[in-house]
Amino acid sequence: MLDPQNFPNAIAFAFEAVGGIGAAARVCGRSYQALNKWRLAASLPRTDYTGETEYAKLLAAAAQKQGNPFDAAWLLGKSAPQKTVA
């Protein structure tokens, strides 16, 4: 089983849990490039936090099938966008 502590961020862990960034892109119906941006930003798109999309749930379900379960709420919490102070 994968350990989230072995990854630079929760998004990178989630992508590996489903079989890599290419597999995650297929699960989410987005491009490899789009998901690479998420990985580099260590955050899901804003739409996942406003309920417009459910990428965290899709990734969690796919990871469960791969034997690497995690909770979608955990992913949302760990990958929430960080606000910067001006």
Say what the pLDDT of residue 42 is. Answer: 94
Is residue 83 over pLDDT 70?
no
Of 22, 32, 34, 25, nearest in space to 58 by CA = 25
Indicate the CATH number for domain 4-78: 1.10.260
Helix axes 21-28, 10-17, angle to 10 degrees: 80
Domain coordinates in residue numbering, the chain: 4-78
Say what the pLDDT of residue 85 is. Answer: 65
Tell me the pLDDT tens digit for each residue of 10-56. 999 999 999 999 999 999 999 999 999 999 999 999 999 999 999 99
